[in-house]
Structure 1
Amino acid sequence: MEKLARPTVQALTPYLSARRIGGSGDVWLNANESPFNNAYVIDSDALNRYSECQPAELINAYAAYAGVTPERVLTSRGADEGIELLIRAYCEPGTDSILYCPPTYGMYAISAETIGVERKTVPLTDAWQLDIDGIEKNLDGVKLVFVCSPNNPTGNLVNRDDIIRLLEMTKDRAIVVMDEAYIDFCPEASTVDLLDQYPNLAILRTLSKAFALAGLRCGFTLANPELINVLLKVIAPYPVPIPVAQIATQALTNLSQAKQQVDTLNKNRAWLANELAENAQLTVFEGWGNYLLVQFPDGDALFKAAWDSGIILRNSPIQDCVRISIGSEQECRVTLEFIQQYYAK
């Protein structure tokens, strides 16, 4: 059967999500999930009917949360579907390209490769910022430029002035896709205020992180109505199941709970970063999401030792770096104690 698949798919290496990698243990800090498990109520009366393509109550709730009009919101099966929709809607296979800046989220490349769209890369600078001049030299044929801020896995914010320069240079030429999956942990850094000025801006959001709904698979694309209408041409007929819309709407109408949990995770992140930084052998990079990137003297060995001890972290393409999701206070303490003991040997 594999021989019948498209050659591109035969050669494709799938994205190694945390669940695909697996593991066995009590402390799971590898997928940037929330440690909070909140309760919701589902009304099953309408489950025999198809859902709305874009449930009005959900769209209105997220629009209010994001500070935009409902016409600027599209909901999808996670932000991952938003990535795929943008590529399918704007890139002609074999002709157009996307551009992204590694190290960053891996699904931009895989979504493009699956569809047969060329990938161009312009690596981040040593400070993990955009190489604006390098991007400008590589824009020929590019329809989408993906920028993640806070960036995964590095955790840093992308300089706002560089984002504006990128939007200016791509006017009438390409769409800048700001992946703001982790922006709820630092909302002041959002680019949502730039939507009025830049019709070539699209913003990806999710309920997986700050809203503790990774298992729900509910994401959003924020953009000007013209762009949203293009995406509506290629989206599936019923992308948001009725229970998903119900739970997501409930979460968005209880913002005090989400804010309290975000505040807790930000405090846990700051505490863990300070404690790890006490070890001169480690480099703890400043993080703005619900995770930290830490460079160890022997990152792969530390990752494996933690794995064998039931502490599941995420190894990184950056040499000797391991990404640690921010969990509960107890999970952070257990992880810290393991690392301290590992280097005390």
Structure 2
Amino acid sequence: MNKLVKSLMNDNLIPLKPYESARRLFSGGQDWLNANESPYASDYQIDSENFNRYPSCQPTAVVESYARYAGVHTDQVLVTRGADEGIELLIRTFCTPGKSNVLICPPTYGMYAISAETCDVGVRQVPLNDDFSLDVDGICAQQDVNLLFICSPNNPTGTRVAAADIERVLSHFADSALVVVDEAYIEFDDGDAWAARLDEFDNLVILRTLSKAFGLAGLRCGFTLASGDIIRSLMKVIAPYPIPEPVAQIAAQALSDEGVTRVNVQVKKLNLLRNTLQEELAQRAGITLVGDITANFVLFHFADCEALMAFLVENGMLIRNQSKQHNLQNCLRATVGNEDQNARLLSLIDQFIEQKGVSA
């Protein structure tokens, strides 16, 4: 880093490392099973007639469609550039740099901490219990936090957070902090959704996305669901034109009755494929399943995970090493792909186990 850049950069940014996204970690691969993307792509129609005009800040068709899909009021919906922008907007709106704190429960999604750190906001940590349940007593013992991030289903453990635990946290922080429930994977575990309870808890915020079950990761379209007061506050800091016109058009089509029906069919198929992949992995020597499977990935432990990971990468099969996460030493996470991708992953694992002579 040259002297000028270092002298001008915010002090809190100098020690930070950027989030290691799937595309940053690897520049190429034959099978991408490391970013929890859907293996299914759909066709959409684009009308370019208004591309010469700035888009709407909050496209009506998208807001109305998602409100109908989630079962909430339109004034409880904010469309964002992926759920990641929702995380950043919440921190920028409800935290004061150098003074406020957020709370996270590792192992969990890395962008909560990174977004806070880039805004010079403190990060408190209350790790999940050994069974990956919330340490509710530890959370409620925390003071001076503005936002709490709870991922359910949790990435990367694939575990559902018990409703009673979230209720207790919401009640405890009712007058002091917002509780953000990240439901990026909720379509794979729709019986646990919190949108219907927005009117019950004024401090409840929900993050959603079209990146996972809807198969639109390349679109970068997410949603923040919350009370009208919270949404109006977020509107103070959101960019003037956050949703490009092509994104709005595709999102509205994806949220049509036809689009939602298609997603429901794909989710059912992926859940079956996920269950099969889990069962197959469990039969491999040296592999121990970790967490649960309420999302579109499987987490597993393998003692020589670094060597296995290198072998898979060498053969164009990309999954995600989670060993740096709290309490996940030697753990790998594999996204559920289509039948051929899952079969190839298992075949490569078999080849590695045979070469290394791994025993049960």
Q: Same fold (TM over 0.5)?
A: yes
Is the Cα–Cα contact under 8 Å of residues 95 and 141 in structure 1 kept in the other structure? no
Q: Within the alignment, does 1:232 sit opposite 2:235 as a pair?
A: yes
Q: 1:187 aligns with which of 187, 190, 204?
A: 190
Q: Amino acid of the residue matched to residue 293 of structure 1?
A: L
- Give the C-alpha shift of residue 58 in structure 1: 0.4
Describe how 1:311-322 pairs up with structure 2 within 5 A.
311-316=317-322, 317=324, 318-322=328-332
Q: Are 1:265 and 2:270 matched, yes or no?
A: yes
TM-superposed deviation, 1:209? 0.4
Of residues 312, 319, 326, the one that matches 1:306 is: 312
- Structure 2 CA distance for aligned equivalents of residues 287 and 331 of structure 1: 18
Q: Does 2:178 match 1:168? A: no
Instruction: Tell me how far apart the structure 1 counterparts of residues 76 and 339 of structure 2 sit (CA, whole Å).
Output: 37
How far, CA to CA, are the matches of 2:40 and 2:101 in structure 1? Answer: 39
State the shift of 1:280 in Å.
4.8
Q: Report the equivalent of 2:255.
A: 252
- Kept after mapping to 2: 8 A contact 1:2/1:10: no
The answer to whether residue 108 in structure 2 is matched with residue 98 in structure 1 is: no
Q: TM-score, normalised by structure 1?
A: 0.98
Per-residue deviation, 1:297: 2.0
Is residue 326 from structure 1 mapped to residue 336 from structure 2 by the alignment?
Answer: yes
Q: Structure 1, residues 107-134: CA drift from partner, whole Å, max 9, x if none?
A: 0000000010011000000011111111
Alpha-carbon shift at residue 25 of structure 1 (Å): 2.4
Pair 1:73-2:77 in alignment: yes
Whole-angstrom CA distance in 1 between matches of 2:93 and 2:238: 9
Shift of 1:23: 4.1
Give the partner amino acid of 1:308.
E
| 3-state DSSP of counterpart to 1:165 | helix
In the TM superposition, 1:125-144 aligns within 5 A as 125-138=129-142, 140-144=143-147
Q: Is the 8 A contact 2:285 2:353 kept in 1?
A: no
Query: C-alpha displacement at 1:325, in angstroms?
Result: 0.6
Post-superposition offset of 1:301: 1.5
Contact 1:23 1:312 in 2 (8 A): no
Q: Identify which range, 279-288 or 180-189, moves more after superposition.
A: 279-288
Q: Kindly report which structure 2 residues correspond to 1:286-305, keeping only aligned pairs within 5 A, or say none.
A: 286-305=292-311
Report sequence identity in percent.
50
Instruction: State the 1:71 CA deviation.
Output: 1.0
Q: Post-superposition shift, 1:281?
A: 2.1
Match of 2:358 in 1: none
Give, as a single letter, the amino acid of the residue that structure 2 aligns with 1:190: A
Deviations along 1:254-304, one digit per CA (max 9) or x if unpaired, are 211111111111111011001111125211232111111111121121111
Number of residue pairs matched? 344
From 8, 32, 35, the equivalent of 1:28 is 32
Letter in 2 for 1:234: V
Match of 1:147, SS state, is strand
Task: Decide whether the 8 Å contact of 2:106 with 2:126 is kept in 1.
Answer: yes
Give structure 1 stretches of 5+ with no counterpart.
none
1:151 to 140, 149, 154: 154
Distance 1:67 1:296 in 2: 41
Following TM superposition, the consecutive aligned residue runs of length 4 or more in structure 1 with deviations greater than 3 angstroms are: none
Question: Contact 1:23–1:307 at 8 Å: present in 2 too?
Answer: no
Distance in 1 separating the partners of 2:106 and 2:303: 22
Is residue 50 from structure 1 mapped to residue 21 from structure 2 by the alignment?
no
Unaligned stretches of 5+ residues in structure 2: 356-360
Q: Does 1:37 align with 2:41?
A: yes
Any conservation in 1 of the 2:221–2:251 contact (CA below 8 Å)?
Answer: yes
For the pair 1:18 / 2:19, whether they are aligned, the reply is no
The two structures have a TM-score, normalised by structure 2, of 0.94
The amino acid of 1:184's aligned partner reads E
Q: 1:208 aligns with which of 195, 199, 211?
A: 211
Q: Which amino acid aligns with 1:114?
A: T
